Amino acid sequence: MSSSSVEETYPRQWRRVGADGSITLTIHVQPGAKRSDVAGVYGDAVKIRLAAPAVDGKANAALIALLADAFDVPERAVTLVRGATSRRKTVRIAMPGLRPDRAWDDQTKARPGR
């Protein structure tokens, strides 16, 4: 079974859209990176690099700020649902003004070898 047919059979579950319009994302965080950015979709999670270290909640605060800016919402609209002390996190974004997550799929498809 090729990777594309696997993805068609088992759709990616890294993003869920609620009936209220909220978005829930599964994220793999890489703290201590050179810069903060979205690296793309890897399997069932979005990989996000954060310049902040994983100390005293700094990486979580940086993640919330990055997502709030990307989705054009106030930071209070971004909730860390699960994974406060883990690299794998679940985050909920209420009433997003923008939808950059749609382009993240395209970033992954455009990478060579994918």
Per-residue pLDDT of the chain (114 residues; tens, 9 = 90+): 444 444 454 555 899 999 999 999 999 999 999 999 999 998 899 999 999 999 999 999 999 999 999 999 999 999 999 999 999 999 999 999 999 998 987 665 554 444
Kindly state the greatest CA–CA separation across the chain: 44
User: Rounded to whole angstroms, how far apart are CA atoms 112 and 36?
Assistant: 22
Rounded distance between C-alpha atoms, residue 51 and residue 37, angstroms:
9
Sheet strands (E) in the chain: 15-17, 23-30, 37-42, 45-49, 78-82, 88-93
Q: Which of 57, 28, 30 is nearest to 41 (CA)?
A: 28
List of domains in the chain: 3-95 (3.30.1200.10)
